[in-house]
């Protein structure tokens, strides 16, 4: 019976190639979009699920009553003996980036050394390897001993060209030059690269214990490891013993914290590691994407697009299925029960779904690299099937298939044989209503997608064209050196490099600074206020940036009042005569205006107790130091002629490549051992919008998919409407109707639905996109002419596409010979 049913279902589908084709393509499109989006969602939602101890592993996060967040703990190591239920305390210090060099034993000169700048590196203790899942390819972790390190396979290959023979790497030594004193570390273990979906990044883990030796710290005594306490700059995790309650443990830690430092009012929480990636973003240096919003967006779009495809299936099947009413009537007449009839229809639906699924999986396979490049990610289908969210997604897909298949089967098999055989079977008003509603839903979603895409594109355009208050064009940024051998006769080689660069004919201006626009500041500071200020003012936070006297000119910033500082304004070390503020600082400090501020003094801490007192020499107009996501923050610029973290060069536009080669040669000559990295300032700034551009791409692609699916459905429904009104159209033509009037007749009905969809879509899209735009401190205004224009254009685009789809089909009917139509009846 089943093979019989299958055979018949196949023949039925084959005979109606047009609808079958529309159905399969529509469903496959929906499923393809669904799979891509679920890959994205599962990837982010499944972060850290690969960790074997994920259920027992937590990050320690502290919050203060003022709302500031902290996840470092000076009493981290004290917990081991004083808090019960802890199995391991994996600890990191991430401020470790620097230059790593391998000098082979037989190498006589530095030219044979292998040197790279490493960003993803950290100091850690040995508990890290007990608690987190690492796969050792060679050796093991021995990080409780100083001067040892564990590296990943990629790092091993990069420095030692060891191929797959990782054992060869064990015992090799790497020299690390970062903010601490240059120190050598011996490799004790090689681990497999961390998976893409690990919140923990890193290619090298240096023994934290090394920093217990003060000679290894250089000038950074702040990082000293205090026995039993650790240092104040650690990021901590806890691996709990089996059966330990995280909440009760957090309470113990908070109590201990009060004991250790009664003045600190910090509440400690344990954050499950699985929620770190998608959970609350804490201001910690570990990557923390706060991606939950994007997961929700992706899953919603996935379900929407898939629903559109099922709606199509329902619409097309019920519409065209009515032409099968005769067959069902006949079957019923000769004895079929509803059960007999439902099964073949469900089988048809199953076969369609399987065909669409195969097509979708093939498309995903073929388009994966394109999708990945759109998102800048390394996704694959495996993610969908790996984690929980994917299973729910697949469940939703199956449910959709079953529900829509059953609905179609029940509608189609519900016909009464007598009505069919009497020959006066027409489309039921009920079915028409359902189909119309579904078309409205489809177009509402499509219009919302189009509007969303237009708004995102406009916001991206707005961001890239907004006057930033500085000029980033033709501005080249070279990373400053990390290895500086200060014993040269001519002075600090980094400054020598700056002087040499200034002399180059293609360089118009040069500035050295400790950080740059689009990237960040030196640090944040509290306790800065006017001498006459209120004590509460000290709670305000300021961004501090150290730069040389050319910074403002080179970036072409404008002074509102006063002028920039002089070289001599730096009194040596961390002492300053004058500073520059931006307008936001002027306001926050409580000055009436920039002119009111210039010449005045501000202080950091109490000047009588090692605090500082600075005169304001100028106020620079507000500029966007960070992306338009962030409001302009109060910045205080401190003069530092020795600021060599980054060199910013205003260059001429000609011969960029040749000039770059000149710069590189000069850099390598004066600053040997440091890798040369040069980027354009506007690229650095635009990089901040990478995620936004990806979301824009995602929306564009899926709105195209949504509208294509909706149009496939509309195309089919128009074909059906044309078919069932064939006689009417024939009569109208005999009576003198033109082709155009017939096209209008068929189009109007559907365009009315698009109009209703428009009315529904506008407020929904308005609300959703307003929420999205809230993420930007500076954004396009939806309650404006632009907003109106976006929504009207979205409606027009949808209506136009709908009209073209309908008209293509209606034209065929309109041009058919009227006599044929009448004879047909």
Partner 1 sequence: MIKLRGIQKFYRTDEVETTALNGVSFDIQNGEFVAIMGPSGCGKSTLLNILGMLDNPDSGEYHFYEHEVASYTERQRAELRKKSIGFVFQSFNLIDELTVYENVELPLLYLGFDAAYRKQRVHEVLEQMQMMHRRNHFPQQLSGGQQQRVAVSRAIVGKPLVIFADEPTGNLDSKNGSEVINLLTELNKSGSTVVMVTHTPEFAEYASRTIHLFDGQVVTENFKSTAKAA
Give the interface with partner 1 as residue ranges (CB under 8 A).
1, 4, 8, 11-12, 15, 326-327, 329-337, 340, 417-418, 421-422
Nearest approach in angstroms of CB 822 to partner 1 is: 19
* DSSP 3-state of 321: helix
Instruction: Give CA 321 to chain center in angstroms.
Output: 44
Q: Which is nearer to partner 1, 417 or 512 (CB)?
A: 417
Nearest approach in angstroms of CB 444 to partner 1 is: 35
Q: Which is nearer to partner 1, 342 or 421 (CB)?
A: 421
Q: Which is nearer to partner 1, 151 or 412 (CB)?
A: 412
- CA distances to 44, 189, 656 from 278, rounded to whole Å, are 7, 31, 42
Nearest approach in angstroms of CB 426 to partner 1 is: 14
Q: Which is nearer to partner 1, 251 or 340 (CB)?
A: 340
Nearest approach in angstroms of CB 335 to partner 1 is: 3
Least Cα distance to 79 among 240, 212, 247 occurs for: 240
8 Å CB contact between 766 and 452: no
Nearest approach in angstroms of CB 336 to partner 1 is: 5
Q: Which is nearer to partner 1, 243 or 335 (CB)?
A: 335
Nearest approach in angstroms of CB 423 to partner 1 is: 9
Nearest approach in angstroms of CB 339 to partner 1 is: 10
Residue 237: phi and psi, rounded to 5, are -130, 165
Query: End-to-end alpha-carbon separation of the chain, Å?
Result: 36
Alpha-carbon dihedral of residues 402, 408, 412, 413, nearest 10 degrees? 20
**Separation of alpha carbons 748 and 433, rounded Å:** 16
Nearest approach in angstroms of CB 1 to partner 1 is: 7
Q: Which is nearer to partner 1, 76 or 328 (CB)?
A: 328
Q: Which is nearer to partner 1, 333 or 499 (CB)?
A: 333
784 Rama class: left (phi>0) / alpha (psi -120 to 50) / beta: beta
**Separation of alpha carbons 353 and 17, rounded Å:** 15
8 Å CB contact between 172 and 160: yes
| Helix, strand, coil % over all residues of the chain, rounded to 5 | 50, 15, 30
Give every CB contact of residue 55 below 8 A, 6+ residues apart in sequence. 272
* DSSP 3-state of 193: coil
Q: Which is nearer to partner 1, 328 or 698 (CB)?
A: 328
Q: Which is nearer to partner 1, 338 or 567 (CB)?
A: 338
Nearest approach in angstroms of CB 357 to partner 1 is: 23
Other CB atoms within a 10 A radius of the CB of residue 334 amount to 8
- Cβ burial, residue 415 (10 Å; 0-12/13-18/19+): buried
Q: Strands of 549-682 (E only): list them.
A: 559-562, 578-582, 601-604, 612-620, 635-639, 646-651, 678-680
Least Cα distance to 119 among 145, 103, 141, 99 occurs for: 99
Structure tokens at 692: 């936004």
Nearest approach in angstroms of CB 12 to partner 1 is: 5
Least Cα distance to 294 among 394, 410, 375 occurs for: 375
**Separation of alpha carbons 541 and 807, rounded Å:** 62
Q: Which is nearer to partner 1, 329 or 787 (CB)?
A: 329
Structure tokens at 52: 């074997």
Nearest approach in angstroms of CB 713 to partner 1 is: 24
User: 145-161: string of b/e by CB count within 10 Å (b at 16+)?
Assistant: ebbbbbbbbebbbbbbe
The conformation of residue 567, written as its DSSP 8-state character, comes to G
Q: Which is nearer to partner 1, 23 or 644 (CB)?
A: 23
Nearest approach in angstroms of CB 332 to partner 1 is: 7
Q: Which is nearer to partner 1, 11 or 823 (CB)?
A: 11
Nearest approach in angstroms of CB 715 to partner 1 is: 24
Q: Which is nearer to partner 1, 20 or 659 (CB)?
A: 20
**Separation of alpha carbons 233 and 364, rounded Å:** 45
């Amino acid at each position: 019976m089943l093979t019989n049913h299958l055979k018949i279902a196949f023949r039925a589908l084959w005979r109606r190639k047009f609808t079958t084709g529309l159905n399969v393509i529509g469903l496959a499109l929906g499923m393809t979009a669904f799979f891509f989006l679920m890959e994205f969602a599962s990837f982010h939602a499944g972060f850290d699920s690969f960790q074997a101890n994920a259920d027992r592993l937590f990050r320690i996060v502290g919050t203060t009553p003022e709302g500031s967040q902290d996840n470092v703990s000076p009493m981290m190591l004290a917990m081991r003996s004083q808090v019960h239920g802890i199995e391991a305390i994996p600890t990191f210090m991430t401020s470790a980036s620097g230059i790593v060099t391998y000098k082979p034993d037989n190498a006589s000169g530095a030219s044979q050394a292998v040197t790279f700048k490493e960003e993803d590196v950290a100091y850690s203790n040995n508990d890290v390897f007990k608690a987190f899942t690492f796969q050792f390819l060679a050796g093991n972790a021995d990080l409780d001993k100083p001067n040892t390190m564990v590296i990943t396979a990629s790092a091993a290959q990069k420095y030692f060209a060891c191929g797959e023979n990782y054992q060869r790497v064990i015992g090799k030594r790497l020299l690390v030059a970062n903010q601490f004193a240059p120190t050598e570390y011996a490799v004790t273990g090689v681990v497999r690269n961390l998976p893409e979906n690990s919140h923990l990044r890193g290619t090298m883990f240096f023994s934290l214990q090394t920093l217990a030796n003060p000679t290894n710290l250089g000038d950074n005594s702040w990082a000293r490891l205090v026995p039993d306490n650790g240092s104040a700059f650690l990021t901590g995790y806890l691996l709990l013993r089996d059966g330990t309650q995280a909440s009760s443990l957090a309470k113990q830690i908070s109590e201990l914290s009060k004991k250790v430092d009664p003045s600190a009012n910090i509440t400690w929480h344990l954050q499950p590691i699985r929620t770190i990636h998608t959970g609350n973003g804490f201001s910690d240096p570990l990557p923390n994407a706060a991606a939950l919003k994007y997961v929700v967006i992706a899953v919603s779009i996935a379900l929407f697009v898939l629903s559109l495809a099922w709606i199509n299936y329902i619409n097309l099947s019920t519409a065209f299925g009515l032409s099968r009413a005769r067959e069902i009537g006949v079957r019923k007449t000769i004895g079929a029960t509803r059960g007999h009839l439902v099964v073949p229809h469900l089988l048809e639906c199953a076969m369609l779904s399987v065909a669409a699924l195969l097509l979708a999986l093939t498309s995903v396979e073929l388009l994966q690299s394109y999708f990945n490049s759109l998102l800048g990610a390394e996704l694959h289908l495996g993610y969908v099937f790996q984690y929980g969210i994917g299973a729910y997604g697949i469940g939703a897909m199956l449910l959709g298939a079953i529900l829509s298949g059953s609905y179609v089967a029940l509608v189609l098999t519900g016909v009464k044989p007598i009505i069919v055989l009497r020959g006066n079977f027409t489309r039921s008003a009920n079915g028409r209503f359902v189909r119309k509603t579904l078309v409205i839903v489809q177009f509402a979603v499509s219009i919302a997608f189009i509007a969303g895409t237009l708004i995102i594109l406009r916001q991206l355009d707005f961001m890239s064209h907004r006057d930033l208050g500085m000029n980033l064009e033709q501005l080249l940024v070279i990373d400053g050196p990390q290895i500086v051998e200060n014993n040269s006769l001519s002075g600090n080689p980094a400054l020598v490099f700056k002087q040499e660069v200034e002399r180059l004919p293609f360089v118009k201006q040069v500035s050295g600074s400790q950080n740059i626009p689009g990237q960040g500041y030196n640090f944040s500071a509290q306790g800065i206020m006017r001498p006459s200020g209120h004590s509460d003012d000290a709670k305000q936070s300021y961004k501090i940036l150290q730069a040389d006297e050319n910074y403002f000119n080179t970036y072409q910033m404008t002074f509102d009042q006063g002028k920039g500082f002089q070289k001599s304004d730096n009194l040596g070390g961390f002492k300053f005569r004058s500073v520059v503020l931006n307008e936001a600082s002027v306001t926050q400090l409580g000055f009436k205006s920039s002119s009111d501020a210039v010449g005045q003094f501000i202080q950091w801490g109490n000047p009588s107790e090692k605090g500082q007192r600075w005169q304001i020499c100028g106020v620079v107009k507000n500029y966007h130091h960070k992306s338009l996501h962030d409001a302009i923050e109060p910045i205080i610029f401190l003069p530092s002629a020795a600021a060599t973290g980054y060199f910013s060069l205003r260059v001429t536009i000609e011969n960029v490549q040749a000039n770059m080669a000149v710069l590189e040669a000069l850099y390598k000559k004066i600053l040997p051992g440091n890798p040369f990295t040069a980027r354009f300032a506007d690229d650095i700034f635009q990089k901040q919008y990478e995620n936004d551009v990806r979301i824009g791409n995602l929306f564009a692609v899926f709105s195209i998919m949504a509208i294509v699916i909706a149009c496939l459905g509309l195309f089919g429904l128009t074909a059906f409407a044309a078919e069932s009104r064939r006689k009417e159209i024939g009569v109208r033509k005999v009576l003198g109707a033109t082709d155009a009037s017939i096209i209008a007749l068929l189009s109007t009905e559907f365009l009315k639905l698009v109009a209703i969809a428009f009315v529904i879509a506008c407020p929904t899209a308005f609300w959703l996109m307003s929420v999205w735009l809230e993420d930007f401190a500076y954004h396009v205004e939806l309650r404006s002419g632009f907003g109106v224009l976006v929504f009207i254009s979205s409606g027009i685009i949808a209506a136009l596409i709908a009209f073209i789809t309908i008209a293509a089909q209606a034209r065929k009917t309109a041009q058919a010979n009227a006599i044929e139509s009448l004879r047909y009846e």
